[in-house]
């Protein structure tokens, strides 16, 4: 006995993990498959008769309208991405395949939830330029920012400052309390360091317990000295109850200024790094 496909089609559509939408030329939803509840949090009966544009993320509405015009002009779209607002207020990233049907006088779209994929892609983009532990800029990002700042400083004939910072005796924290606790301390110090800089400044973790701070708009030695003093004081504040038994670490900071201490990134970094190690040696000799 032959299979009655006409009878099976509705069942097959509702079994699909992706959501099928049929939308008329006025953007009104005339059909949606049962998978819509997992996608947007609405049952099919709640969506039918409403405007599909009501569920689109407002920031994506303009580009989505352009895609709709394209599809209705007879140009299928198989790789369009946008965001929708779920019933619970959450945001879902959707990959669409859509075409116009003259027979139905409507456009047919299949929507796939790619939120997890988009989040993974965003995290990979973030990690390309950020330290995975502290979430600060990494060495690559810092070098890019320094090159950009130097080019602007040369072009506008203005100074900039570079700080190289090292946590004193940090190895003892790792040795005595474990690397997991050491990582927690580093993250705490990273947030403190961020709190000491402005919106145009860049804080980076260069590796281990070494950090750099780029100050692209420091007009005078007094301003730089004031910033260094603030950082030293903030970093030296007690760690808090969750770090019981750990002495508050201090830090050593080396400073390099453009143009007097160097005209290029490598020279400035070497100067600041060298000054930082001289300060550490002086501290060790005095201690």
How many CB atoms sit inside 10 A of residue 169's CB?
15
Map tokens 């474990």 to a residue. Answer: 178
Taking the C-alpha atoms of residue 185 and residue 170, their distance in angstroms, rounded to an integer, is 9
CB atoms closer than 10 angstroms to residue 116: 9
β partners of residue 28: 51
Catalytic residue among 209, 261, 264, 273: 209
- 3-class state of residue 43 by DSSP: coil
How far from 279 is each of 165, 221, 269, CA to CA, in Å? 11, 18, 15
Q: Which two tokens stand for residue 44?
A: 């099919």
Please say whether the beta carbons of 216 and 226 come within 8 A. no
Would residue 59 show up in a list of annotated catalytic residues for this protein?
no
- Polymer length in residues for the chain: 287
Point out the residues that are catalytic: 209
């Amino acid at each position: 006995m032959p299979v009655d496909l006409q009878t099976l089609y509705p069942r097959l559509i509702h079994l699909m993990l992706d959501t099928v939408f049929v939308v008329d030329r006025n953007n009104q939803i005339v059909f949606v498959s049962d998978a819509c509840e997992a996608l947007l949090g609405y049952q099919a009966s709640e969506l039918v008769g409403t405007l599909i544009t009501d569920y689109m993320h407002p920031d994506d509405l303009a580009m989505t309208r352009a895609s709709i015009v394209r599809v209705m002009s007879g140009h299928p779209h198989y790789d369009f991405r946008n965001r929708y607002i779920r019933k619970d207020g959450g945001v879902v990233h959707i990959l669409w395949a859509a075409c116009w049907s003259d027979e139905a006088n409507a456009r047919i779209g299949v929507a796939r939830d790619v939120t997890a994929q988009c989040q993974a892609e965003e995290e990979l983009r973030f990690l390309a330029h950020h330290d995975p532990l502290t979430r600060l800029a990494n060495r690559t990002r810092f070098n890019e920012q320094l090159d950009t700042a130097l080019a602007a400083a040369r072009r506008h004939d203005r100074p900039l400052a570079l700080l190289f910072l090292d946590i004193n005796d940090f190895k003892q924290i790792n040795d005595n309390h474990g690397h997991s606790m050491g990582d927690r301390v580093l993250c705490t110090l990273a947030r403190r360091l961020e709190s000491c800089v402005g919106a145009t400044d860049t804080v980076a973790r260069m590796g281990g317990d070494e950090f750099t701070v780029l100050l692209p708009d420091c007009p005078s030695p007094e301003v730089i000295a004031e910033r260094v003093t603030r950082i030293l004081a903030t970093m030296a504040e007690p760690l808090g109850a969750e770090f019981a038994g750990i002495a508050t670490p201090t830090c050593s900071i080396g400073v390099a200024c453009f143009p007097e201490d160097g005209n290029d990134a490598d020279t400035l970094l070497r100067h600041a790094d060298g000054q930082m190690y001289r300060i550490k040696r002086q501290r060790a000799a005095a201690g």
